[in-house]
Structure 1
């Protein structure tokens, strides 16, 4: 059998690189379009978040940090309004209590102020109890009732915290400062519910013994400051830490 005659070779195509080049340009264009789109979305979301947080925390309208992005707020305007109302209620209660303390001459026996967790009314032991006792004195009942009337319409959770100094106690009724501080807090809760009319579901009692002093227990003057019951009106943001609250 004879050899097949070889076919003539085709001339090389010198323009094939154009196809690869066109594909590369197309991919690069798509890449930059995606990067630009992602960049714009993030900036818009960040701007919305900045504005929303400003409204929620400051209770006022503020500008965007990035650009002039528009769109629905991440933090609902109703939540911002609720936070503003709560802050106003706290401030109103604070001013009423300050006025009450001044009118009744209770400076040094009752202190009130705002902390990050909420409104704190601190009642000193000398006003509320006899030494080593958890029974409210007649004067204490009147003061607790008056304070309760200021707080009764507030929807916030209220925590009653009992505190002692570091002097030990060991009686048949109170083996340690844990029992004494807890019983004092519980008695204040009971009085607020039964005599003032606060809702029991917003109240809680806890005893810290001598372990949450506000000053060092290095003198009797300091120990007097540490022996106290704090009424803490918690901001609603802390509801998540309360059982059954969201």
Structure 2
């Protein structure tokens, strides 16, 4: 009869927890060592490091603020420059349109006299100038507009009624002195002739506040007064239609 071999029974190990406990103690020890190392950082070096960081950040913020401020200032100045340039361009455009229109109208109305050389239309730095020889408008030594010339000046006035630009009428004489009860000198004669043209414009509907009458006597000759032809050319009425922003040389109130 065969005997049964008894199975060997394994005994349970009740000390296994010691291994886990030892691992935990080792980790805990390592943790405290690290904490101690961190807590014992050199305070001097830490302060230097902290100060350097603060300076760096503050410097960057200051630089950024300066850049932003400069950029805003540049944008503002550029905006002002753009506005100024735009206004100048618009003013120049209006000036060019004004000169082109008025010059064309005057050439059309005064065409016959322009061809005969008695009238000239020109552009100046102040606007447009219409020069009319005095013989077309006045008798010698007189300031009353001839009947034949009233219609011509009335046509000019019609072109100016709907406009709002200032108008300056200058009277010019030659250098031959005049001594009459009405006109003791060329100053009175030239002023009276300019005033006569202004008064006619007013009767044709041109606003009086736009008008100026100026007597220049013989102070701005076109040519030498050495010949009868030269003196005849210097006796004239110059009507200036002033472009926008043009300066007026002076004012003589018309009563």
Q: Deviations over 1:132-180 (max 9, x none)?
A: 2211122321221111111111111211111223332232221222111
> Is 1:158 aligned to 2:167, yes or no?
yes
Q: CA deviation at 1:99?
A: 2.2
> Is 1:130 aligned to 2:139, yes or no?
yes
Return the alpha-carbon distance in structure 2 between the equivalents of residues 20 and 165 of structure 1: 89
- Higher normalized helix content (fraction of residues): 2
Return the alpha-carbon distance in structure 2 between the equivalents of residues 223 and 30 of structure 1: 79
Match of 2:240 among 224, 232, 239: 232
- Give the structure-1-normalised TM-score: 0.69
What residue ranges of structure 1 are gaps of 5+ in the alignment?
1-11, 60-79
- Structure 2 counterpart SS, 1:160: strand
Return the alpha-carbon distance in structure 2 between the equivalents of residues 25 and 223 of structure 1: 85
- Structure 2 counterpart SS, 1:237: coil
| Runs of 4+ deviating beyond 6 Å | 14-20, 239-243
Match of 2:125 among 116, 132, 145: 116
Return the alpha-carbon distance in structure 2 between the equivalents of residues 13 and 240 of structure 1: 79
CA 1:26/1:238 → structure 2, altered by over 3 Å: closer, same or farther?
Answer: farther
What residue ranges of structure 2 are gaps of 5+ in the alignment?
1-42
Return the alpha-carbon distance in structure 1 between the equivalents of residues 165 and 196 of structure 2: 20
Range with greater deviation from structure 2 (145-154 or 18-27):
18-27
| Structure 1 counterpart of 2:206 | 198
Q: CA deviation at 1:189?
A: 0.7
- Give the structure-2-normalised TM-score: 0.67
Return the alpha-carbon distance in structure 1 between the equivalents of residues 55 and 226 of structure 2: 78
- Structure 1 counterpart SS, 2:120: strand
- Structure 2 counterpart SS, 1:236: coil
CA contact (8 A) 1:160 1:205 kept: yes
Q: State how many pairs are aligned.
A: 210
| RMSD between superposed Cα atoms in Å | 3.3
CA 1:162/1:242 → structure 2, altered by over 3 Å: closer, same or farther?
Answer: closer
Return the alpha-carbon distance in structure 2 between the equivalents of residues 240 and 174 of structure 1: 26
